[in-house]
Structure 1
Amino acid sequence: MRRLKYMILLVFVFISGCWDRMEMNDLAFVTGTAMDLSDDGNMLLCSLQIATPSTEGGMSGGGSGSKNNFFIISAEGKNGNEIHQKLQKKSSRHLFYSHRSIVFISERLAKHGIQGVLDIFTHDPRNRLKTYIMVVKGEAGRNILQMNYPLKQVPIEAVREMENSGDDLAVTLKDFFISSESEGVHPVVGVIESDIHSKDPHKQLFKLAGAGVFKDLKLSGLLDINETLGLMWVTNKLKFGRITANLPEGNGEVGMMITHADRKIITQTGHDSVQFKIQLEGQGSLVENNSGLDINEPKNLKLITKALENAAKKLVKDVIFKIQKKYKVDSVGFGQEIYKHNPEKWAILKNQWDTRFPEADILVEVNLIIKGEGMVHSSFEKESE
């Protein structure tokens, strides 16, 4: 009798163990999200890009370039719970967010403030903090969701891979939250925009367009591609990048690919002064030489290196000037450097940092090492002469 009871119990375990499992055919895979302000500016407008199911019941894949590999649904609401309820009503399948790779925030919403947007992603366990976040420059975020990309079946995956390329800013929700809550630094995110302006979304492309600087969860301003490269170098996030320099006395231009970059920030705080010295290191190869100089000559290589160092220094000083004097936002984390090395001094400066940072003295030093320079001699025209 006891044996029969155990067998009946075992049967119930097997038939009831997966009662709440959801099959793939019951899921709608969200690949991207866009957040905008409604036309009247009083509500949030959320748009989801959802991968289209294939005829076999899974998700469409491959490289056919079909324009029907995704569809968009949108809903307005005052909070995330209301929006999700409305979006779910528009989908016959359960919305599944674990495959979402990116969240777009329109520039208009970012300037208005994204506190309400962040609450959606912090309190809902269905959202992954490894999802990337970007600002859409000059247009609605949902416009990017609607664009096709010729090299990817689902275009949002193309954005994710572009972000991971190494010379563009890639920021996840987790990165943004950490920066927002850290001492002495404000968050920065990547920026994207349409590359070809056309009314037909299938004929448009997108491109990465720099970075967005945030303060108090509001967009303070934008940085262009070159300024973003300088910011990434100063914040020690640069994997590789390109620098172009004009040689003195009109001797032409040279270009360098930086493949190894490093930085060190030295902090000096006096009674009434704050000074920082940024020491930048870089190694790479010369990839362009539109001059008549033979770089096998040590003096010419020294001249080229100096020109590239000056160009890199100007690039970094330009971005420092912009965030320090124009936006007045410590996006680099100079305050964090004080906090880490002199917490007692930071306790005094913390409440004054918004006014002290724009007046801080910041010096920049650059040291470059060019390797493989023998592969690029003087320009073809000069050598032919």
Structure 2
Amino acid sequence: LLPLLTGCWGRLELADLALVIALGVDLADNGLYEFTFGIAGPPVSHMKNAPQGDAGIPSRIVVTQRGRSFAGVLREIELRLPRRINLTHTLVVFIGERLAEHGLGDALDFVLRAPEFRLQGLIVMVRGGPVRTLLETEPLMENLQTKALTEIAKAHIGLEVRLWEFFSARATTYRAPLLPVIELMESPDTGAKGQRYAARLGGAAVLRGDRVALYLDAREVRAIKWLRGRGRDGVITVPCGDEPGPESVSFRVVQAGHRVRLHRGGKPAFAVALRGRLRVTEMQCPRPLVEPQVHEQLVQRAEAELRDLMEQVIAKLQEAGVDPVFFGEHVRALRPGLWRTVGEERWGETWREVPVTVSVDLRLHTTGLMRNPLRS
């Protein structure tokens, strides 16, 4: 009767697992892939002969291995580690710059096949150095670089792309996948003493198929965030004086929304309407905001700044023939007959010639804790 009794026959304790919190994939020489595993350091309580306190106990372990397949590399690394690798807690998948520019191909096939991966995890691209260098940098205010970057993304300060979003775009021929970019910068004044590199969330890479088609800087990413419904908490800075000069006024976007309209007709044409509310965060000129004509002029400058940025980014995307912000999806969903005429395979070429008009409506919500600058 013993075999019929319930029980735990295949138990794996936490002390038996190596928890992978970050995974990097890059292209090495001779057609090999370079996989980098960021593994959470073991708790002191789970270590034999552990020293008092946490001195000498690493907060993370970085392991790199080259190979032709993920399965082969995983087996090689498990031969080096005293614990079983567990991928369930992977927070971020990092893509190396060389791999992204050469072409991803099927390098990420294992992510979709392995049941351990959670597609709610983030995917980002690393520029300026290898993934290993990024994972070995000491972050500010966190123990793990992966955790620090995840918290920045969750705060919606930069662009945030989940694994499921990335693979959904790659499964089509008309939606261009986006990769947020993390830049490694030489900055001796940031991070741990003696550390050569510091990491920051920068712009984004737009892919055509499986490789990078163009890069967007951090300023241009603001336009992408507006079109993805994440324009809130952005900052708009415009000249403050009667005439353009060094003095400026800065607004923070406290409320943001957008609407994309597809015009009727035999060809695709769009109208993008942006709306938002602003809060004055800094003012460097002595102009009285209580005067309606003053704050109207400053808000109009903010509207012009946002409109110019949006038109610039849309033109850049059209020139490259990539659509990461779902304009093609609007045609497919709202005008299926027109979509069949255009053709999914030809949307990239059609998108280059699609007229897009942009309108902006911003309102001043508050001037902060005071109305006029001290000098006024």
Q: TM-score, normalised by structure 1?
A: 0.88
Following superposition, the deviation at residue 203 of structure 1 comes to 4.6
Amino acid at match of 2:20: V
Which residue of structure 1 aligns with residue 209 of structure 2? Answer: 216
CA RMSD of aligned residues (A): 2.4
Following superposition, the deviation at residue 196 of structure 1 comes to 3.0
Which residue of structure 1 aligns with residue 315 of structure 2? Answer: 321
**In the alignment, is the contact (CA less than 8 A) between 1:79 and 1:116 conserved in 2?**
no
Which residue of structure 2 aligns with residue 109 of structure 1? Answer: 99
**Quick one: distance in 2 between partners of 1:223 and 1:347?**
31
Following superposition, the deviation at residue 256 of structure 1 comes to 0.7
**In the alignment, is the contact (CA less than 8 A) between 2:236 and 2:250 conserved in 1?**
yes
Following superposition, the deviation at residue 291 of structure 1 comes to 2.1
Which residue of structure 2 aligns with residue 253 of structure 1? Answer: 248
**Quick one: distance in 1 between partners of 2:286 and 2:372?**
5
**Quick one: distance in 2 between partners of 1:155 and 1:74?**
17
**In the alignment, is the contact (CA less than 8 A) between 1:34 and 1:145 conserved in 2?**
no
Query: Which is further off, 344-353 or 66-75?
Result: 66-75
Which residue of structure 2 aligns with residue 263 of structure 1? Answer: 258
Out of 298, 306, 313, the residue aligned to residue 312 of structure 1 is 306
Q: Unaligned stretches of 5+ in structure 2? A: none
Which residue of structure 2 aligns with residue 5 of structure 1? Answer: none
**Quick one: distance in 2 between partners of 1:302 and 1:239?**
21
Following superposition, the deviation at residue 93 of structure 1 comes to 0.4
The answer to whether 1:298 aligns with 2:292 is yes
Following superposition, the deviation at residue 372 of structure 1 comes to 1.3
**Quick one: distance in 1 between partners of 2:262 and 2:236?**
27
Which residue of structure 2 aligns with residue 168 of structure 1? Answer: 158
**In the alignment, is the contact (CA less than 8 A) between 2:231 and 2:253 conserved in 1?**
no
Out of 270, 273, 285, the residue aligned to residue 279 of structure 2 is 285
Amino acid at match of 2:360: V
Which residue of structure 2 aligns with residue 47 of structure 1? Answer: 36
Amino acid at match of 1:51: A
CA deviation vs aligned residue, 1:67-92 (integer Å, no higher than 9, x gap): 82111111112222112112222211
**Quick one: distance in 1 between partners of 2:56 and 2:305?**
45
Following superposition, the deviation at residue 367 of structure 1 comes to 0.5
Kindly name which structure, 1 or 2, has the bigger radius of gyration based on alpha carbons: 1
Amino acid at match of 2:313: V
Amino acid at match of 2:115: P
Which residue of structure 1 aligns with residue 186 of structure 2? Answer: 196
Amino acid at match of 2:257: D
Within a 5 Å distance, the mapping from 1:66-145 to structure 2 comes to: 68-145=58-135
**Quick one: distance in 2 between partners of 1:374 and 1:98?**
45
Following superposition, the deviation at residue 213 of structure 1 comes to 0.6
Which residue of structure 1 aligns with residue 170 of structure 2? Answer: 180
**Secondary structure of 1:134's aligned partner:** strand
Runs of 4+ in 1 over 6 A off after TM superposition: 63-67, 198-201
**Secondary structure of 1:35's aligned partner:** strand
**Quick one: distance in 1 between partners of 2:132 and 2:368?**
49
**In the alignment, is the contact (CA less than 8 A) between 1:258 and 1:282 conserved in 2?**
yes
Following superposition, the deviation at residue 170 of structure 1 comes to 1.0
Following superposition, the deviation at residue 374 of structure 1 comes to 5.7
Out of 215, 228, 239, the residue aligned to residue 235 of structure 1 is 228
Following superposition, the deviation at residue 237 of structure 1 comes to 2.8
- Structure with the larger helix share: 1
**Quick one: distance in 2 between partners of 1:276 and 1:66?**
59
**In the alignment, is the contact (CA less than 8 A) between 1:106 and 1:138 conserved in 2?**
no
Q: Identity over the aligned pairs, expressed in percent? A: 25
